[in-house]
Homo-oligomer: A and B are copies of this chain.
Amino acid sequence: MFSVLIKSAVPKYRKLLLPAQTFIRTMSSSDGPTSPYTTLTISRPAESITHVQLHRPDKLNAMNKAFWREMVECFNEITEDKDCRVVVVSGAGKIFTAGIDLMDMANDILQPKGDDAARVSWNFRKFITKYQETFSVIEKCPKPVVVAVHGACIGGGVDLITACDIRLCTQDAWFQVKEVDVGLAADVGTLQRLPKVIGSRSLVNELALTARKMYADEAKSSGLVSRVFADKEAMMAGALEMAGEIAGRSPVAVQGTKINLIYSRDHSVDEGLHFMATWNMSMLQTEDLTKSAQAAIEKKSPKTAVFSKL
């Protein structure tokens, strides 16, 4: 339904052929082969980089029931996948995502179960908590997640990208906190993370209370994204280059950095420093430190060092 609503607003996109985007499910889990996802495609565009693509292009990557489940499975696998050091998330087709697939999920939301209002509440709470987890897994995954947004990023899409670590977009991208338009307060992450992701509280409130669109320029100046690219092709190249920079560095350093940045967000500076010291008391014992220092002394890039898997 949402897909329908925004179809007209979507600009045409030329076919994108991401180099090496051959569809391979490379992340082997220890418990045998997994059946491919129906809403996501997973590939390995370069060493140590996992590319997760929202992949229901004919439905504008709207988030149906399968999606909410598959994201959790997918990021749990990525967390365990020792060959992956960084993740790129993007959307297939015309836009990044139209948000929640209200048609597919209508009976869960509009026809709740329970013998009285308290029991309906009880069930709704479990339901919301489960769906919050779909994006929290991105944050719990210690590997940095770069998200690349083109076209439109609506409703649940904003919930998704605020849980990622680095946000990029194309010049024609727009963002919309859509939930008030369908009669609810956004409950899977936007209201919690957006204010900690961009610096202007007035803007956050305006977006969340009026559901107006925000375009690429404002997304950049407000700090929602840290880079804007001319088009999707340029953005994907940029995303992969950035991912390559991250993947080439010590995973002990990189993943410790992500974990501590998230810890810091939710704690005072003193608490953050205390945790950091307790974290690094062991992590400084990595051989990556010597390898990286050696590279530095030899005036080589840290990417020339070979680090053990983590």
Contacts and interface: CB of A to CB of B under 8 A. Distances in A.
A273 B180 contact: no
Contacts of A222: 199-200, 223
A183 B293 contact: yes
> Which one of A110, A254, A279, A284 has the highest number of Cβ atoms from chain B below 10 Å of its Cβ?
A284
A265 B269 contact: yes
Interface in A262-277: 264-270, 272-273, 275-277
B1 A273 contact: no
A206 interface: yes
Interface string A1-26: 11011000000000000000000000
Interface stretch (A31-39, A49-57, A59-67, A123-131): A123-131
A246 B293 contact: no
Contacts of A221: 221
A242 B201 contact: no
B122 A302 contact: no
A144 B128 CA distance: 23
Nearest to A250: B183
A182 B281 CA distance: 16
Interface residues of A, number: 116
A193 to B, nearest CB: 6
A227 to B, nearest CB: 8
Interface string A107-126: 00110100111111110110
A293 to B, nearest CB: 6
A260 B184 CA distance: 12
A209 interface: yes
11 contacts: A117-B120, A119-B252, A122-B281, A132-B276, A183-B288, A185-B259, A191-B261, A192-B269, A195-B264, A206-B226, A211-B249
